[in-house]
Structure 1
Amino acid sequence: MGLADYHVPEFDPVAADEATVTTDHCRFTVLTPRLLRLEYDPDGEFEDRPTQTVWYRDQPVPDFEVTRVDGRLEIHTDHLRLRYDVGERFNSDSLSITLTGFEETYHYGDEEDNLGGTTRTLDGVDGKTDLQNGLLARDGWTVLDDSDSLVFDDGWVTPRDAADEYEDLYFFGFGHDYLGALRAYTDIAGDVPMIPRWALGNWWSRYWHYTQDELRDVMTGFRDRELPLSVCVIDMDWHVVDNPNHDGWTGWTWNRDLFPDPEGFVDWLHESGLQTTLNLHPAEGVHSHESQYRAMAEHMGIDPNTGKPVEFDASDIEFLRGYFDHVIDPMEDEEGIDFWWIDWQQWRESPEMEGLDPLWALNHLHALDRTRDGRRPFILSRWADVGNHRYQIGFSGDTVITWDSLAFQPYLTSAASNVQFGWWSHDIGGHFGGTGDPDSFGELYARWTQFGAFSPINRIHTSKMPYVDKRPWTFGGDVADALEDALVRRHELVPYLYTMAWRNHDRAEPLIQPLYYHHPEQDAAYNRPNEYYFGSELLVTPHDRERGDDTNLSRRPVWLPEGEWYDFESGDRYTGGFHTRYGDLEDVPVYAKAGAIVPLDGEPGFGDVDTPETLRILTFPGADNTFELYEDDGTTQDYQDDEYAITELSSHWEDDWLAFEIGPVRGATEHVPDGRSYELCVRGVDDAVEVTVDGAASHAESYDPVTRTLTVAVEDVDPGEQVTIYLDGDGPLAAETDWRRRQLEDLLWHFEMPAGAKPPLSTHAEQFCRGERADLDWLGNFAAALSHPQLRAIVETLVDVGVERIDHADTERLVLWNEDRRTDVTYQFAAYDQWGVPIDREGESRRGTAPSYELIDLAEFETFDWELTLNYDDLVTISEAGEGHDPTQE
């Protein structure tokens, strides 16, 4: 029978002859001026079929020159110069590529300074783990080795019939144009599919033996409390577990004791506005106790009366076709299952086909199977290597409930963009372990959920642990408030997120972007593992450490790129550089760039992620900007120009006025509500503003002095109309703000110290903030009333000097900064030998005035231990210490 047509992509794998340069044993393909394919085969046999990774080699042929002189072949493009000694195997002497203008040369076999990619799973990981290499490197070049991947032949994969020496390499020489490299990669490997709109809301997931009534009660609990959800995940126990044939992880038949009416329950979810998925562990195949067994056995030529199991075989086209025709598709068509959570944790190699990873086969075919009725490819599954960006979204695995696990996930998420795998779904709150108590676990869960709200997919999940309950209403106080605020904020962000999903599909720009994408020449951008751009307008650096005992606040060092930035919630203005942020559970460190435009759902609700009737547009002072809001029907696969709508939002900023334009809508206006209401919220401005509106019959104004937000509301705007809102100020429109004063007040409110000492301390600090004094001597008068962490917090608030220990990648690092180059802050770094004696070799120890910026890579020191101290004007000393590199272990 073979695979269905919709299981076979439309490949375009053969490059134009004009793009290839061939010798007896090598073929070079110029895919772009910065991307080359390098093939070596001793028999001169080269591969034109699509591989698991690369599908589209027929790219526009760029300009290039070829010279052959004295046995040397050279290929010159506008950006690369390849040199190859004809007749030689690839080696460091025979093959080199120079990045012209970037001053880097690659010799075959060189190792690049790779910026990391992602990993298959976080199962059982407590904290960090190693990542596979990505497509980007600080050297400016990377090599993707595609030699061992399978090739497609007649719709399904097969091993290559190639010599052992055969090599198939792709050289990316993009310098620091990181986004350019990602665009070129998707050009040859396929676009990132468009995410369904409903996937961007909050998900509820728990591994638990729910009955359908219990799960209905959980969903109703969210709805009754006006906590938005868009997806209900039904984990393992939806199917029959106790059976005579295997351990129960695999299952295809509803457990009617728990779900007596699964079709009715799924209908109820849909009526409530929720999508649903079922957890799958397909490894055991289909056994005789399953309701689908007879049809599947007959399909495979097995007599059902024998009870012989239908074994899982990812290499067998007939099995795969039957798997979808008789197991998967009927559950979608007849029972309403929207998509599948493929929880493959078994073998990585198929015994029947060398090199075939069953996880890859499941991801590939499940994603394509959804397209049979015009829906978008969409699954929840684990990473199965480069090329998996076509099969989003990723399930990162069963993490341990610890602060270290939370701290690693922002870094993992941003690094995954380096292989275009930008849609990770983590177990928000962790999978197993932890304590479950409302206090210590509650704080961790709240911080994890805040990160989830500003991550690709926000899927709250818990393992089968009776004393860990993540329903928000089981907590109280500030934990419950933080959880509820994060869930509402996530649904408010859906219009913004959906536009970013379109940009990822259309322009290959991931939602989550490491800072070095946009600031590649700034060393600090490479050493902020837990900071990332969240779309085009925002920068996020989530709190991932618990509150200090003395400060009752979380500490978060932040580096902002050059320019003006605004706190997303408070409207406080920051300038680029380092500062240290302290915050309680209300504090979510999200920064908007000057001029940022962020469209929000003005009325987020349970089970509702449709295009909003009321669009709230949050914008900030400081710069001109344009934002194209993307809207469509949210589910269909095709994206023709006449099938989606674009609403252009633009601002023109001057010091004392702002002109903001909305619309008119371009394209398929049926996707935009008739008579939409708009709320323009300008945050970080004074209230002495005159407002005029063109294009609307009337408008309303209000001002929030806490967040310094002026809101202008217009109603009943036709999609074809344009609305222009003018703000005129008596003077500068941007409000005068001082985040230091606000943070100092927060510190004093949260400190346990004599209340009588707080007013005079605040007075002295105010004088310092106003520039009336430059020294910190006055702080010594309060030293007896303050603990060491409290003193540190005050000093770090008032002056931008600090140190942070980073341990997220392969090496452990210390970052020091002294933004104002203060001479009253000194530091000392000492390394010690195995007897505890300081090492005085050049570079091993250093001391003096704290540098404006310094990175200390601890792996560079051949030492046993190290210690760093940072002294603020003899008032407070910060100490960091740890184990160094042991040279005897080499």
Structure 2
Amino acid sequence: MSMNNRNVITTILSTFVSVGASVCVASDFTIENHGIATEVNGNEISLQFYTPSTVRVIKNSVGTKVEKQSLSVVSTPGNVKFNARQSGKYITVKSDSITVTIDTASGKISFLSPDGKKLLREGDNVSFTPVDDAGEASFKVRQDFCLDADEPIYGFGNLENGRLSQRGLKRTLMPGNIEDGIPVFVSVKGYGVYWDNYSPTTFVDDKDVSYFESEVGDCVDYYFMYGKNADGVIGEMRRLSGEVPMFPLWTYGFWQSRERYKSQDEIVEVVNKYRALGVPLDGIIQDWQYWGNNYLWNAMEFMNPEFNNAQKMVDDIHANNAKVIISIWSSFGPSTRPYKELDSKNMLFDFSTWPQSGIAEQWPPRMDYPSGVRVYDAYHPEARDIYWNHLKRLYDHDMDGWWMDSTEPDHLDFKAEDMDTKTYLGSFRKVRCAYPLLTVGGVYDHQRKESDRKRVFILTRSGFFGQQRYGCNVWTGDVASTWETLRNQIPALLNFTLTGNPNSNSDIGGFFAGAYNKSYGDNSAVKNPQFQELFVRWMQFGAFTPMMRSHGADIKREIYYFGNRGETVFDAVEDAIKLRYSLLPYIYSTSWDVSRHNSSFMRPLMMDFPKDRNGWDCGDQFMFGRNILVAPVVKANYTSEKIIDIDENTGWNRQENAGNDAVAEMDFMTPVNTDIYLPAGTSWWDFETNEIYKGGKKIVKPTTIKTLPLFVKAGSILPIGPDVQYATEKSWDDLEIRVYPGADGEFTLYEDEFDNYNYEKGSYSTIGFSWNDKTRTLTVADRQGEYQGMLSNRTFKVVVADKKSKIVNVSYNGSVTTVKL
């Protein structure tokens, strides 16, 4: 790419070009396919347009050969028309959506909006420091950026630092157990930057400069995306790295889990009890050790004698109208068939991973009996084939999905030389952060090839940029059962959303909860008001995450352990579950908006109200879909928050159990005032009371343990589903349609077969609802599309939140219908 090898036409000072042009402009830059190239201060700089709003920037030392195949980015440069011009010392390149300038004296790049507003500029430092990467010559690479002093930025993964805006962040970004650092951020100014590097990458933001620095890289490689707002940036991210496939409807119901069900009778009994109680449930999860001892770790077979008829287990669960997913890992014990096959092909790593002891039954672990468990080389396509070939034994049992644990993967007793481990794509250091992307992608791709009869559903502990394309929901790992951790989950999941990944959740109640037991293992915490209050609040928050899943160690969390119907805690938990089910038509329609229009489930206030500075750093409230404001109670109103510190290391060492004793019973129904901020620019309806408030101010709402503060934006239209025990129990033939007046509004109800991939072939329907606030008229538009089993005729029960009109039954046969209310 040296300028000496380029055809330079020095008489042309500016030109208008499109894809395929090979014209050079002046001596300072060359027009190439999809962009330009230049050389400044010993560095080659290349700009490549992927869309009119997204440009890739590549920098490398002159003479350095760069051949990079992105693992996250799956699109290619597009047919983008742009204008390139040199004026003085600046090269200016314009598309319809962004302007990029390069200072030919310093090489610094600036990005501007079409109207000339400065969005982002590079700082003074771009550096390539030679390093030895496991015997290969490479570089530590760094690029500086300059942000406005008052400019909040978001993203970077599901960091557990309790902050929404990540200004001032200093963090090495890489996958881990309880957080996944991802090198991408979004600005409130409507742009984003993805740093395309898979080695451990540090992001630093201080008063002087912001920068990315990666341990290994042949070049600086990043993408600037201008979307005008956060939704637009996320759209650009997904155009680069893959769209979001739809999950089945049943994934949005309530999920119960535990570390762990110790027999097939136990897991089936849990489903039976939920059905007997009449508490809704859609899924249950079998955690680890169904395979037997640790030498058989992740054998992908049922060799534990307590699971002696696995097919009957699956069939019994299905017969009770529930789904089951099962734990699988990225590592294998030495006595398993996958281990032996992978080992014979040198596709296993040698660094220490979980579990370290071969004896699962003893605690603390017997380290004199090492497990021999090893992580597999997910970077190798043949290794991913082998993984699926063994996983197919479980798939053939008609499993409904996969709980892919330790996809970071677990890396214990870290030694620097571990990073020299050879992988199919180079050193482990070079590709470390892409491990979850590739191991999860391997399962998704193979199952899609296997059959389209059911949609892929993967619950996984780690994520990376682009992983949204692989049908996965990422949870925040083995988080502690503390109020601080609960509060941290909200900004963590919101920032994860802003990496382009819309599907996430956390262990409801926190994973390590033993501190709330009087003594380890007696399950007393379910009667401990300190844990009861925390668990209820986490359940209420969990009802408004993309997956509602109760899970953890030390405590059995099934609803019937918390008491009986009619008792406060039981009822509060059941209320949260039933609220979730009532909103399934809204949630499923939102999932279509996510897949089709690049929307998001959990939305920080800055997404929908970017002009309201009061919402820029609001980390304890969020929009769920485009209509519902969720303000969960995330502080203890009735008990003490005092708890010892717990993390995934102390938790697994059982050091958390010196914590709190049970306290006296509490009156959880005593009202306590809760402060809530209502964003400016609209009015808000209290979902519980149907009172309306003007936005742009704080209000005080009395709450009890049963209260989850929810507010609906004026102009919203919400479909409310039937009372069901599982998601598909009843058809949606008599949905309640709630209209929240005060502004014009619209909503699209989406329906399909609720599973399989026929929707990708056009088998689905949409029904548009629009509200004219001035005339108080609701119009139900012509139905668009069709699918097998579609309701041809139905009744909508329409009600307006202000109660000025009674419920109106609207018969609908697919043709436009108007009703005045």
Q: TM-score normalised to the size of structure 1?
A: 0.68
What corresponds to 2:329 in structure 1? 281
Which letter does structure 2 place at the counterpart of 1:337?
M
Q: Deviations over 1:706-736 (max 9, x none)?
A: xxxx323356x43x34443332xxxxxxxxx
What corresponds to 2:521 in structure 1? none
What corresponds to 1:414 in structure 2? 494
3-state SS, counterpart of residue 280 of structure 2:
coil
3-state SS, counterpart of residue 203 of structure 1:
strand
3-state SS, counterpart of residue 677 of structure 2:
strand
Over 3 Å counting, the alpha-carbon distance change for 1:104 and 1:465 in structure 2 is closer
> 1:148-167 alignment to 2 at 5 Å?
148=198, 166-167=219-220
What corresponds to 1:555 in structure 2? 674
> 1:578-589 alignment to 2 at 5 Å?
578-589=698-709
> 1:836-851 alignment to 2 at 5 Å?
none
Q: Is the 8 A contact 1:388 1:421 kept in 2?
A: yes
3-state SS, counterpart of residue 543 of structure 1:
coil
Q: Is the 8 A contact 2:291 2:301 kept in 1?
A: yes
Q: Distance in 2 between matches of 1:680 and 1:361?
A: 47
Over 3 Å counting, the alpha-carbon distance change for 1:609 and 1:456 in structure 2 is farther
Q: Distance in 2 between matches of 1:215 and 1:187?
A: 41
| 1:190 correspondence with 2:239 | no
Q: Distance in 2 between matches of 1:134 and 1:460?
A: 30
Q: Higher Cα Rg: structure 1 or 2? A: 1
Q: Deviations over 1:533-575 (max 9, x none)?
A: 1112111111111225796525233233232211112211111
What corresponds to 1:814 in structure 2? none
Q: Is the 8 A contact 2:590 2:625 kept in 1?
A: yes
3-state SS, counterpart of residue 306 of structure 2:
coil
Q: Is the 8 A contact 1:545 1:554 kept in 2?
A: no
What corresponds to 2:585 in structure 1? 495
- How far does residue 227 in structure 1 lie from its aligned partner after superposition? 1.4
Q: Is the 8 A contact 2:747 2:769 kept in 1?
A: yes
What corresponds to 1:659 in structure 2? 777
| 1:328 correspondence with 2:391 | yes
Over 3 Å counting, the alpha-carbon distance change for 1:547 and 1:339 in structure 2 is same
What corresponds to 1:361 in structure 2? 438
Over 3 Å counting, the alpha-carbon distance change for 1:40 and 1:121 in structure 2 is closer
Over 3 Å counting, the alpha-carbon distance change for 1:413 and 1:544 in structure 2 is same
3-state SS, counterpart of residue 315 of structure 2:
helix
Q: Distance in 1 between matches of 2:372 and 2:606?
A: 56
Q: Is the 8 A contact 1:206 1:463 kept in 2?
A: yes
What corresponds to 1:878 in structure 2? none
3-state SS, counterpart of residue 622 of structure 1:
coil
Q: Deviations over 1:836-861 (max 9, x none)?
A: xxxxxxxxxxxxxxxxxxxxxxxxxx
> 1:385-784 alignment to 2 at 5 Å?
385-391=464-470, 392-433=472-513, 434-435=515-516, 436-438=525-527, 439-465=529-555, 470-471=559-560, 474=563, 477-548=567-638, 552-553=671-672, 555-576=674-695, 577-606=697-726, 608=728, 612-637=732-757, 639-640=759-760, 642-654=762-774, 658-686=776-804, 689=805, 710-714=806-810, 717-718=812-813, 720-727=814-821
Q: Distance in 1 between matches of 2:254 and 2:93?
A: 51
- How far does residue 201 in structure 1 lie from its aligned partner after superposition? 0.7
| 1:383 correspondence with 2:503 | no
Q: Deviations over 1:592-632 (max 9, x none)?
A: 11121111212322363675233222222222222111111
- How far does residue 236 in structure 1 lie from its aligned partner after superposition? 1.2
Which letter does structure 2 place at the counterpart of 1:562?
G
Q: Deviations over 1:766-806 (max 9, x none)?
A: xxxxxxxxxxxxxxxxxxxxxxxxxxxxxxxxxxxxxxxxx
3-state SS, counterpart of residue 767 of structure 2:
strand
CA RMSD, 1 decimal: 3.5
| 1:318 correspondence with 2:436 | no
- How far does residue 402 in structure 1 lie from its aligned partner after superposition? 1.5
3-state SS, counterpart of residue 755 of structure 2:
coil
3-state SS, counterpart of residue 419 of structure 1:
coil
- How far does residue 523 in structure 1 lie from its aligned partner after superposition? 1.1
Q: Distance in 1 between matches of 2:374 and 2:188?
A: 49
Q: Distance in 2 between matches of 1:554 and 1:362?
A: 47
**What residue ranges of structure 1 are gaps of 5+ in the alignment?**
1-13, 151-161, 690-709, 728-890
Q: Greater CA deviation, 618-627 or 658-667?
A: 658-667
Q: Distance in 2 between matches of 1:313 and 1:54?
A: 21
- How far does residue 275 in structure 1 lie from its aligned partner after superposition? 1.8
| 1:97 correspondence with 2:114 | no
Q: Distance in 1 between matches of 2:760 and 2:404?
A: 30
Over 3 Å counting, the alpha-carbon distance change for 1:651 and 1:565 in structure 2 is same
Which letter does structure 1 place at the counterpart of 2:461?
R
Q: Distance in 2 between matches of 1:443 and 1:311?
A: 39
What corresponds to 1:807 in structure 2? none
Which letter does structure 2 place at the counterpart of 1:535?
G
Over 3 Å counting, the alpha-carbon distance change for 1:613 and 1:101 in structure 2 is same
What corresponds to 1:873 in structure 2? none
3-state SS, counterpart of residue 183 of structure 1:
helix
3-state SS, counterpart of residue 620 of structure 2:
coil
Q: Distance in 1 between matches of 2:606 and 2:216?
A: 40
What corresponds to 2:642 in structure 1? none
Q: Distance in 1 between matches of 2:476 and 2:35?
A: 39
Which letter does structure 2 place at the counterpart of 1:627?
F
Over 3 Å counting, the alpha-carbon distance change for 1:510 and 1:186 in structure 2 is same
Which letter does structure 2 place at the counterpart of 1:338?
D
Q: Distance in 1 between matches of 2:600 and 2:343?
A: 43
Over 3 Å counting, the alpha-carbon distance change for 1:256 and 1:104 in structure 2 is closer
- How far does residue 119 in structure 1 lie from its aligned partner after superposition? 3.8
Q: Is the 8 A contact 2:271 2:322 kept in 1?
A: no
What corresponds to 2:85 in structure 1? 67
User: Percent identity over the alignment?
Assistant: 23
Q: Deviations over 1:407-455 (max 9, x none)?
A: 1212222222211122112101111124214322222211111111111
| 1:82 correspondence with 2:85 | no
Q: Distance in 1 between matches of 2:190 and 2:574?
A: 43
Aligned residues: 657
Q: Deviations over 1:348-384 (max 9, x none)?
A: 9654332234333211111222212124443111233
- How far does residue 77 in structure 1 lie from its aligned partner after superposition? 3.3
3-state SS, counterpart of residue 384 of structure 1:
coil
What corresponds to 1:872 in structure 2? none
Aligned with 1:258 (options 296, 306, 317): 306
Q: Distance in 1 between matches of 2:431 and 2:98?
A: 35
Q: Distance in 1 between matches of 2:82 and 2:318?
A: 56
Q: Is the 8 A contact 1:123 1:399 kept in 2?
A: no
Q: Distance in 1 between matches of 2:315 and 2:609?
A: 49
**What residue ranges of structure 2 are gaps of 5+ in the alignment?**
1-18, 22-31, 124-143, 164-177, 201-214, 349-370, 412-417, 517-524, 640-666
What corresponds to 1:833 in structure 2? none
Over 3 Å counting, the alpha-carbon distance change for 1:430 and 1:648 in structure 2 is same
Which letter does structure 1 place at the counterpart of 2:186?
L
Q: Distance in 2 between matches of 1:168 and 1:289?
A: 41
| 1:110 correspondence with 2:129 | no
Over 3 Å counting, the alpha-carbon distance change for 1:393 and 1:123 in structure 2 is farther
